[in-house]
A and B are shown apart, each in its own frame.
Chain A
Amino acid sequence: MSTYASATTGASGFSGDKRRSGRNREEVGRVSSPRSCSVYSGRKTLPDSRVPSDRPTLSDIPTAAFPVLSFDYKHVQMPFEISLWVLLASLMKLGFHLIPRLSSIVPESCLLIVVGLLVGGLIRVVGEDPPILGSQLFFLCLLPPIILDAGYFLPIRPFTENVGTILMFAVVGTLWNAFFVGGLLYGVCQLEGTHLGRVDLMACLLFGSIISAVDPVAVLAVFEEIHINELLHILVFGESLLNDAVTVVLYHLFEEFAAAGGVTIKDVFLGIVCFLVVALGGILVGAIYGVLAAFTSRFTSHTRVIEPLFVFLYSYMAYLSAEVFHLSGIMALIACGAVMRPYVEANISHKSHTTIKYFLKMWSSVSETLIFIFLGVSTVAGQHHWNWTFVICTVILCLVARVLGVVGLTFMINKFRIVKLTTKDQFIIAYGGLRGAIAFSLGYLLDKVHFPMRDMFLTAIITVIFFTVFVQGMTIRPLVDLLAVKKKQETKRSINEEIHTQFLDHLLTGIEDICGHYGHHHWKDKLNRFNKKYVKKCLIAGERSKEPQLIAFYHKMEMKQAIELVESGGGVKIPSAMPSTVSMQNIQPKKPTERALPQLSKSREEEIRKILRTNLQKTRQRLRSYNRHTLVADPYEDGWNDMFLKRRRVMELGKKLNNYLTVPAPAPDSPTMARARLASDPQAWSIKPKSDSIPTIQVDLASPQSPDSVNMVDEFNKPSKPTEAEEEEGLMMKAPSSSADQKERKRDKEDGVEQQRLARCLSDPGPSAEDDEDEPFLP
């Protein structure tokens, strides 16, 4: 199927080409040697030992014995080899992190390429043909998980704040790179003595467009490890994502022109139109699928188990649908993930959310590993044509083009930016422009007939990839340290910041209205209003649609702290298996007045104290935001006597505390409660009914103690400074007969639901503490 036959002029040809189609039919999904076959063909060649060739008759005495054990590799060959590759990739990943110093010096991508080289060499030595990274395999299987992972967890706020800059870099920067490299290479090829006269202008420009695109996989792989500040990360990463549209269009354009031979103004104009169609079309397709996914997730409250599947399927369909029309699949995927995320997250259960997160990370991690290994293997497997001039010039020109492009663009962009990009920033942006497997796959797709110098191109592409990944990838970390570039802040987002961010939004919108401007705050506010009024009602189930962002943030924060607390305190069991319960909104015993003070034996008390001591010391270290950071070493002192002294102090403070530290429970119908009820988690932890005889550890955000609280309470309220008592609101031991004063708003039935909600999140391994999806940055 030669698509060149159908391509007449540039006008009609754009839709005719298939970037990822059967031109490489002989390499479709090729992962094994020539004698390989699909699963089906294996069946046709079942070894005869299974099927007797002659019908056995009574007179025949079979001469061969019935096979007890037979070797039939062919019919499992394909899945077997795929699994073997994936297993190899995962074991490699495992291995790197076991070697202590290696992973801090060399980025993973380099190591994986080296492994690929070794494996490819091995396969060659054995006599087989090593597989090549087929374009179909790459574009349809390996690339989507990585892009989806990036798109789903894209931090929207920094992205939209910088979208102008990102677009400039992606579109104008890539165009500049492509033309600069392509044009100058053509000039070099025309020089005498290089034996490159056959390479014509179109081919050079095509090569330029392939090599100029910054690769998201490589950027992700390297930037993740250096923890650079958010702005730079989103700039380089956003650029690598958005330049896909440009690459697609340029690739098609130059391919057509190379075949057709001539370029007219009409073609250039059509190229621009094509670009807009490809980019906007991709985004539109992605957005449609995103809305569909959000809508579907509204109804999944009874079938929580398959919720993650919807997210993955709709996204993949968006990608494939965009590819059908030769729109930008990457942009479709990003748009789908970004659009569906706020609504889907409001609808799905906590477990599904964790599942989605971990599956995406797992798939993208494996994909990335496989891509780099295959790059190494393909290097060994491919036919190379090394031409010193061409390759060296390519590498140098790429670097020069990138630097010039970044500097020039920054100069123009800084006129419009409030936060200017400094020279250091520019350096990192230029240095972070890594090339990767996409360039290789695109080069691989070139038709040998029309591009006889394809091998030379491939060699040059691989060299550039190796150079950027090895040299730039390895040196970027020490350079970042050397230049003292701002790193990612580890601080959690505090509620004060959240409040003030929202406050500022409203304030700026208000001032804009007063001054009569229609600036971007005004439009953002309108969009939010529209979202709140119509969209959320459609796409979010139940009462969550009315939950304001601040409240959602607050609950999320509390949930996180609860999980952290339990994680750190878990592993030590209090006798009689009463788990430490987190009283986020005052999980209180049902009838506090009925509980009698426990009478514990001394040994029991000792036991419990010891356990709590170890538990809580660990917890204190983790719970930073609500605990004082100047904790004194061991606040737990032995001996009951001191307790009584301090208890008096605590009581006085407790009264003051009462004033402003009560954290009342949310309204009975609060959305989080409703969600808890909806959580189809039949396997709730078997929480034993609270027995009266065990004092429970209750983490309370409020800590007033009633005078009736038992001795045990004071165990925790004796830091050397009395004021620390208030700060123990993070963690406090409450006797079952706890303070009566908080309890005017008692809702007994909530207790049970609280427990269940707790169970739902406690039985969940939960995301690790440092993961913060509010500002997710692909940790």
Chain B
Amino acid sequence: MGAWASGPAEHEFRELPEKTGFSVDELRSLYKRFMQLCNEEGTLRQEDFEKIEHLQLNPIRSKIIRAFFDKRNFHKTEVGTVQEIGFVEFVTVVSYFKLPETNQTKEQAAELRRKKLRFLFNMHDTDSDETITLEEYKYVIEDLLSSYKTIEKETAKAIADSAMLEVANITGRSMENCGSITFEEFFQILQDVEVESKMNLRF
């Protein structure tokens, strides 16, 4: 651990491997990248992400960047966004995409799945009210379609509508309240998408 530059709060870094599950080597390379992004300042701001060219082509980049600054993803109970993050938060957010351990019990796997879906949910729920409203869902779809210039807003709305209807259908809820989705319902509708195996990256 002496390889860390004399960064602030070095004692925090000692706990990182257990907290996030990364190995020391992986942490080291992430640290290098972190420093590269923040120009050696030690804290990362939203503008720093604009340096990454390929990210600018990504339709949901604003959501992704926002996710790094969302307090809910820091394993704490606070809500809201921060202006700048340090390495610990950076790694915490990236750890959502870690490969699962090889020998996981069923409960651990379910827990991991929940965690990852929670991350996705937080990405959609931009106003932090623990529900995804139709408007928010519509924004998601508009983002996805934003790289195609010829699409009108109404089509996005149509798709969002039918998606919400499906949610109501699957969760068996009454149509009166189907204007928003809670986390439990989100969990239910995405049970066929194998998030725990898809939402992974190799480091």
Interface residues of A (CB under 8 A from B): 418-420, 489, 491, 494-497, 499-504, 506-517, 519, 521-522, 525, 529, 543, 546-548, 550-551, 554, 585, 625-630, 653, 656-657, 659-667, 670, 701-702, 723, 725-727, 729, 745
Contacts and interface: CB of A to CB of B under 8 A. Distances in A.
Interface string B168-203: 111010111011000000000110111101111111
B104 to A, nearest CB: 11
Contact of A626 (B99, B165, B200): B165
A455 B67 CA distance: 69
Contact of B144 (A418, A499, A514, A543): A499
Nearest to B189: A496
B2 to A, nearest CB: 23
B172 A729 contact: no
The 3 nearest A-B residue pairs measured at CB: A726-B175, A510-B64, A723-B174
A497 B192 contact: yes
B201 A666 contact: no
A110 B154 CA distance: 55
Interface in B133-190: 134, 140-141, 144-145, 147-152, 154-155, 157-159, 161-170, 172, 174-176, 178-179, 189-190
B60 A507 contact: yes
Interface of B: 30, 33, 36-37, 49, 52, 54-55, 57-61, 64, 68, 94, 97, 99-100, 102, 120, 123, 134, 140-141, 144-145, 147-152, 154-155, 157-159, 161-170, 172, 174-176, 178-179, 189-190, 192-195, 197-203
11 contacts: A500-B190, A503-B140, A504-B120, A506-B58, A507-B64, A514-B49, A514-B55, A514-B68, A514-B94, A516-B33, A660-B164
Given A418-B100, A625-B166, A664-B154, 13 more contacts: A494-B170, A495-B163, A497-B192, A497-B193, A499-B141, A499-B163, A504-B195, A510-B60, A513-B52, A517-B202, A546-B148, A666-B152, A723-B175
Contacts of B94: 511, 514-515
B145 A548 contact: yes
A626 B164 CA distance: 10
Contacts of B172: 628-630
Given A495-B162, A503-B140, A503-B144, A727 B155 contact: no
Given A495-B166, A660-B134, A506 B59 contact: yes
Nearest to A669: B150
Given A495-B162, A660-B179, A662-B161, A508 B97 contact: yes
- SS class, residues of chain B in contact with chain A: helix
B145 A510 contact: no
Contacts of A723: 174-176
Given A418-B99, A496-B190, A701-B162, A512 B201 contact: yes
Contacts of B97: 508, 511
B193 A501 contact: yes
Given A660-B161, A660-B164, A727 B203 contact: no
Contacts of A521: 201
Nearest to B199: A504
Contacts of A661: 161, 165
Contact of A666 (B57, B145, B154, B167): B154
B180 to A, nearest CB: 10
A726 B161 CA distance: 13
A771 B123 CA distance: 34
Contacts of B134: 660
B201 A494 contact: no
B54 A664 contact: no
B91 to A, nearest CB: 10
Given A495-B159, A497-B190, A508 B201 contact: yes
A628 B170 CA distance: 8
A231 B63 CA distance: 32
B64 A514 contact: yes
Contacts of B99: 418
A508 B49 CA distance: 16
B167 A496 contact: yes
Most buried by B among A506, A546, A659: A506
Contact of B203 (A509, A515, A522): A515
A499 to B, nearest CB: 6
A506 B169 contact: no
A419 B198 CA distance: 9
A499 B199 CA distance: 15
A504 B167 CA distance: 19
B162 A554 contact: yes
Nearest to A728: B175
A509 B166 contact: no
Nearest to A417: B197
A550 B141 contact: yes
A474 to B, nearest CB: 32
Contacts of A745: 154
Contacts of A497: 190, 192-193
Contacts of A489: 192
Contacts of B169: 625-629, 727
Contacts of B201: 508, 511-512, 515, 517, 519, 521
A50 B143 CA distance: 79
B166 A494 contact: yes
Contacts of A506: 58-60, 144
A491 B144 contact: no
A315 B42 CA distance: 58
Most buried by A among B148, B157, B170: B148
Contact of B57 (A496, A529, A702, A725): A529
Nearest to B179: A660
Given A503-B140, A657-B175, A661-B165, A510 B58 contact: yes
B26 to A, nearest CB: 10
A500 B181 CA distance: 15
A500 B192 CA distance: 11
